[in-house]
A and B are shown apart, each in its own frame.
Chain A
Amino acid sequence: MKKILIVEDDAFLQGLSAKKLSKEGYSIITASDTPEGLKALEENPDIVLLDLVLPGGDGYMILAALRAKESMKDTPVIIFSNLAEDKDIKKARDLGATDFMIKSNFTLDELAEKVKELIG
């Protein structure tokens, strides 16, 4: 079973995403802040859904740490955020994000489709 790491501090949004994606047949790991997110990288998920605004740091820190890890340098990372100024998108891309989705512009079935497209 493919493993998805969801890093999201909003408990409700995290719960909904986890429910939808586990229903699609994925195994889910969740993290609610930056330290938890960094720790969860040890489990080598197949894909990471990453929020940007997170307690104890931010999503960029996790993205940078992940890309520095040999085993995860090619792992798809979808930034899933409502912070979407041009500078945020550029920074995420420069750090190696695979895709950038604005939460309120998508629904979870579309997210699941994107995940499927990336990891099958």
Chain B
Amino acid sequence: MKEEKDELAKLREENEQLKRMNQVKSDWISIAAHQLRTTLSAVKWILKMLLDRDFGEITQEQNDFVKKAFASTERMVLLVNEMLSLNHTEDATLNFIFEPHDLTELVEETIFDFTGESHGKGIEIVFLKPDALPPAFPFDKEKIRVVLQNIIENALKYSDRGDKIFVAERIQEGKIEVVVRDTGIGIPDGEQQNIFSKFFRATNAKAKDEIGSGLGLYVTKFIVEKHGGTIGFESKGSEGTTFTFALPTSRT
């Protein structure tokens, strides 16, 4: 009996220590990100001012190089932002707000937000709206928005001009499924088991030279599972990828 108590006290203490360590880590990431952003701002602003000829005329060759440097800086800014967002997502483990929302509306909103990007890339996003609209059910709207954004953004990144992306919503027994199908580069067979791991990026994704931190799908899975949902994908060779996630319609 006493041993059990000692064991429990020990576990509690270890748990407290882990929480403290996680807090230190989070604070450190916040501070580092703030410092990185300040340094990056200086570089980014100067490069843009050079491109805008605020410091006078530059040659075509100089312009091309500065443009490349500016693009690299933009990537770094994006990575810092993603790092912060992951930090927040992990911090926010206990801060999910489950309230009834209309998932169809959220899907439409999210697709609408990508209009500019998809037009620019010449890719059409088609939403196959369900005939019978699902009723509102409790989920964390902002976090599921991140899930939809990550999956659709991936589909856009790894598709080619002229391709179509299909988004569908399906009502199932006790759950609602969202399916995002693209005809992009697919996920190589040997790498499929790693796709949800932190910092993992598929070799063909890296080769396509798209910006990515390898955090998007990790965060996506984390959020879906916090809802008691499931996420998976199918990808055959280079025929594209279909991501499906399902959310339970009632919270138990």
A interface, CB within 8 angstroms of B: 10, 12-13, 16, 19-20, 23, 53, 82-83, 85-86, 102-105, 107-109
Contacts and interface: CB of A to CB of B under 8 A. Distances in A.
Contacts of B52: 109
A108 B54 CA distance: 11
8 contacts: A16-B46, A20-B49, A83-B34, A86-B88, A103-B38, A103-B41, A104-B44, A109-B49
Q: Is the interface of B mostly helix, strand, loop or mixed?
A: helix
B81 interface: yes
Nearest to A17: B45
Contact of B45 (A82, A86, A108): A108
Nearest to A110: B48
Contact of B44 (A10, A19, A107): A107
B37 interface: yes
The dominant DSSP class at the A interface is helix
The 5 A-B residue pairs with the shortest CB-CB distance, nearest first, are: A82-B37, A107-B48, A104-B37, A103-B41, A104-B41
Interface residues of B, number: 20
Contact of A13 (B41, B49, B77, B81): B41
B42 interface: yes
Interface string B39-82: 01110111011001010000000000000000000000100110
B38 A108 contact: no
Contacts of B30: 85
Contacts of B88: 85-86
Given A20-B54, A82-B34, A103-B37, A108 B49 contact: yes
A16 B55 CA distance: 11
Contacts of B42: 10, 12-13, 16
A82 B38 contact: yes
Given A10-B38, A13-B38, A82-B34, A105 B77 contact: yes
B38 A109 contact: no
Given A23-B54, A104-B80, A105-B81, A16 B34 contact: no
A23 B55 CA distance: 11
Given A13-B45, A83-B34, A104-B44, 18 more contacts: A10-B42, A13-B41, A19-B54, A20-B54, A53-B34, A85-B30, A85-B88, A86-B88, A102-B37, A104-B36, A104-B37, A104-B41, A104-B77, A105-B77, A107-B45, A108-B45, A108-B48, A109-B52
Contacts of A53: 34
